[in-house]
A and B are shown apart, each in its own frame.
Chain A
Amino acid sequence: GAVVSQHPSWVICKSGTSVKIECRSLDFQATTMFWYRQFPKQSLMLMATSNEGSKATYEQGVEKDKFLINHASLTLSTLTVTSAHPEDSSFYICSAGIPPRDPTEAFFGQGTRLTVV
């Protein structure tokens, strides 16, 4: 089956530093990937849509200069949290669809637990 791999699974960083999270599609090509954020006891909130070879599109209220997204190839999208602050501590998850082979399902990475101290 299709596999989406996300790395790292957890990271602790100091305030003011930047953290990069990778999302890879291991056995298929993904022209589009999605990045979500999930705070404790809340649902997944879509942050942005990552498009291969073009700029990401961000949801309302998400700072594009703070959450940098790069989708340089059909198998890799990265999310960089710049100048991280404690309020950025959250669970970040990526997903990739696989059109047209299986347009019915979105596949999720394992998620990254970010803690900013």
Chain B
Amino acid sequence: GQNIDQPTEMTATEGAIVQINCTYQTSGFNGLFWYQQHAGEAPTFLSYNVLDGLEEKGRFSSFLSRSKGYSYLLLKELQMKDSASYLCAVRDLNTDKLIFGTGTRLQVFP
């Protein structure tokens, strides 16, 4: 089976940096995704990691350690529009299914 954990809620200040952690246990791993989701909307793809290390894309970076079953999403220079839910998802090697974590609701304050 699979188990994916994230903090439920986080808060941060505009302009700051925030790190959202995700830990996972899976029987077959084929990549980890991060998505952003605003209320009432479909998720938006942010990043994908399949090998260990850091992937940087503008203000967003994502890190993966497969041996530790651990990933984080780093958001820099936070803006008010970054207030959203951030979903960590793991793709199953055998079935190609995307299994989502609990999601982290981030609130950015002025």
Question: Which residues on A are within 8 Å of B, measured CB to CB?
Answer: 6, 32, 34, 36, 41-46, 49, 91, 93, 95, 97, 99, 104-111, 113
Contacts and interface: CB of A to CB of B under 8 A. Distances in A.
6 contacts: A41-B105, A43-B102, A44-B87, A104-B50, A106-B33, A110-B42
A104 B71 CA distance: 17
Contacts of B99: 46
Given A41-B105, A111-B41, A111-B42, A95 B48 contact: no
Nearest to B88: A43
Interface residues of B, number: 23
Interface of B: 31, 33, 40-43, 45, 48, 50, 85, 87, 89, 91, 95-103, 105
Given A43-B102, A49-B97, A108 B42 contact: yes
Contacts of A36: 100
Nearest to A99: B96
A93 B87 CA distance: 14
